[in-house]
């Protein structure tokens, strides 16, 4: 009997090992919650290319835009927990939506499993040249002189851009109107067309337009200046000490995904994010890889949930 039991355990262990070694056996989908052309989409495609090279299966990026990334978050929360669908999420659906959406159809803590932090980066406040403000103090003064008349765009309600704009409103005491879009690409298009006055953009997306004189950078939102735009001062430097609104992208899976599959994706994603070619490519877009453990990501999400929940309640932010 003892020999039989030992044999069965050994067979199960070998079967589990074989399954792990053979995974994945067909293409994998990497979903993002925003339209093509924005920062999340760009980051996902850079990492997906390296994953495809490393794991021997295609990793296909799929855009599921809408509701500030919440639609894609709901999709990953209900996707089969087999490891063939993973997701590059962001601050909005993971830490803002719980405070903003009354009947959120997913629970970020229970229905979505952390794999690893992906990238962190600040936003940059950019204005259309037609706006008579070339610096943050000038923009604040203009907003105070014209309460409710200026507007700013974001990639969606509750996203990092929206939150940074609301934090600026609270800290500067100004009244500017938020205009949500279904991704960074559409928002940038309207900013370039002069249909909105200001936009908290991903630095890499804004840089070519700044260089061409089509946009003016007035501030970055991190605690320190970004290497991509070293001449652009932070919000904190310009009269608002302590201001910090960092954007981040993180890799997650369906909540019931087995630990061995989470561990597999953690290893592969950390490997990809630490690859010199990936780091170089991400750096061109102002994105800093910051891979870690699932536990570290879980703790960080808890901290961000508390921080941005306060902003949401103070601004009385409502969903679309």
Q: How far apart are CA 33 and CA 70, in angstroms?
A: 7
User: Tell me: the pLDDT tens digits for 56-102?
Assistant: 999 999 999 988 789 999 999 999 999 999 999 999 899 999 999 98
Look up the pTM and report it. 0.78
When comparing pLDDT for 319 and 33, which is higher?
Answer: 33
Cβ count near 53 (within 10 Å)? 12
When comparing pLDDT for 42 and 182, which is higher?
Answer: 42
Share of the chain above pLDDT 90, in %: 77
284 pLDDT more than 60:
yes
- Indicate the average pLDDT of the chain: 91
Q: Using alpha carbons only, how large is the chain's radius of gyration in Å?
A: 21
**Residue labelled with tokens 């290497």:** 227
Interhelix angle 39-55/276-284, rounded to 10 degrees, is 170
**Closest to 214 in 3D by CA, of 205, 223, 222:** 205
Q: What are 129's strand-pairing partners?
A: none
3-state SS, one letter per residue, for 19-53: HHHHCCCCCEEEEECCCCCCHHHHHHHHHHHHHHH
225 pLDDT more than 90:
yes
What is Dmax (Cα atoms) for the chain? 86
Across 223-238, average pLDDT: 94
Of the ranges 240-244, 290-294, 315-319, the best mean pLDDT one = 290-294
How confident is the model at residue 17, as a pLDDT?
Answer: 39
Q: How far apart are CA 315 and CA 47, in angstroms?
A: 35
Domains and CATH numbers, the chain: 26-120+247-315 (3.40.190.150), 124-238 (3.40.190.10)
Q: How far apart are CA 87 and CA 2, in angstroms?
A: 44
Residues 6+ apart with CB under 8 A from 18: none
**pLDDT band at residue 320, thresholds of 50, 70 and 90?**
low
How confident is the model at residue 10, as a pLDDT?
Answer: 42
Structure tokens at 65: 């835009």
- Before 24, cis peptide (omega within 30)? yes
**Residue labelled with tokens 């932010």:** 317
Quote the distance between the C-alpha of residue 163 and its chain's center: 12
User: Tell me: the pLDDT tens digits for 107-147?
Assistant: 999 999 999 999 999 999 999 999 999 999 999 999 999 99
**pLDDT band at residue 205, thresholds of 50, 70 and 90?**
confident
The distance in angstroms from the start CA to the end CA of the chain is: 63
How confident is the model at residue 18, as a pLDDT?
Answer: 46
How confident is the model at residue 21, as a pLDDT?
Answer: 64
Quote the distance between the C-alpha of residue 48 and its chain's center: 16
Contact 230, 241 (CB under 8 A): no
How confident is the model at residue 9, as a pLDDT?
Answer: 45
């Amino acid at each position: 009997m003892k020999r039989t039991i030992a044999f069965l355990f050994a067979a199960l262990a070998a079967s589990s090992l074989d399954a792990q070694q053979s995974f994945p056996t067909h293409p994998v989908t990497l979903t993002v919650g925003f339209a093509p052309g924005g920062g999340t989409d760009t980051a996902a495609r850079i990492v997906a290319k390296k994953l495809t090279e490393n794991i021997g299966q295609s990793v296909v990026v799929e855009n599921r835009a809408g509701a500030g990334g919440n639609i894609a978050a709901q999709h990953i929360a209900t996707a089969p927990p087999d490891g063939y669908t993973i997701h590059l999420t962001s601050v909005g659906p993971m830490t803002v939506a719980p405070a903003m959406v009354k009947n959120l159809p997913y629970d970020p803590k229970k229905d979505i499993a952390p794999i690893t932090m992906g990238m962190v980066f600040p936003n940059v406040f950019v204005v259309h040249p037609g706006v008579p403000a070339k610096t943050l103090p000038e923009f604040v003064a203009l907003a105070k002189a014209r309460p409710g008349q200026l507007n700013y765009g974001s990639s969606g309600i509750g996203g990092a851009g929206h939150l940074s704009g609301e934090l600026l409103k609270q800290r500067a005491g100004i009244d500017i109107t938020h205009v949500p879009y279904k991704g960074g690409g559409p928002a940038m298009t309207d900013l370039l067309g002069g249909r909105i006055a200001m936009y908290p953009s991903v630095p890499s997306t804004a840089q070519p337009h700044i260089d061409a004189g089509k946009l003016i950078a007035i501030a970055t939102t991190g605690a320190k200046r970004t290497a991509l735009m070293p001449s652009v001062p932070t919000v904190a430097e310009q009269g608002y000490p302590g201001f910090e609104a960092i954007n981040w992208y993180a890799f997650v899976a369906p909540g019931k995904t087995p630990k061995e599959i989470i561990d597999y994706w953690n290893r592969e994603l950390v490997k990809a994010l630490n690859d010199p070619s990936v780091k170089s490519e991400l750096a061109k877009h102002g994105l800093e890889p910051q891979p870690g453990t699932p536990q570290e990501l879980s703790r960080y999400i808890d901290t961000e949930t508390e921080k941005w929940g306060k902003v949401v309640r103070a601004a009385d932010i409502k969903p679309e």
